[in-house]
Amino acid sequence: MRPPQNSQYESTKNLLTGGSTRDRMVVMNYTDEQIRGLKMKVLAAGARWVGIQPSLAADLPDLVLFQSEKTSTTLAVPVDDCTISAVQERILASNGEFENARILVPRKMLLNIMQTLRTSADAIEDFTRKK
């Protein structure tokens, strides 16, 4: 069964999916005003709005999805806990995890890797010329 085609549905679908053109029926108990309020909190926190992910189980909350401007990582907070500070805290924690996950390669090791790649590329080029 296709959802009704009216402006309120289309506006809600655009807020939930970020304007996705995929047809899908999402049953939500949020008004346009509530969704706009959640979106404004996310934007005010300095994040990109993604949408609302409905819960797949009765004992789990619906989630507000957003992305970090710095890492483009998609993050979430429960709808009931969505505040500007909660979104900012989640972004800061995620950005910190992202920074800590970086692998620092010593310069000498990087130069050795680059030399090995050059040698391999030269060997491949010589091999293809001989054929």
47-103 residue pLDDT tens: 999 999 998 888 899 999 999 999 999 999 999 999 999 999 999 999 988 877 766
CA pair distance 39, 34, nearest whole angstrom: 9
pLDDT of residue 3: 41
Q: How confident is the model at residue 43 (pLDDT cuts 50, 70, 90)?
A: very high
Greater confidence (124 vs 49) lies with: 49
Tokens representing residue 19 in the block: 């304007």
CA pair distance 17, 32, nearest whole angstrom: 13
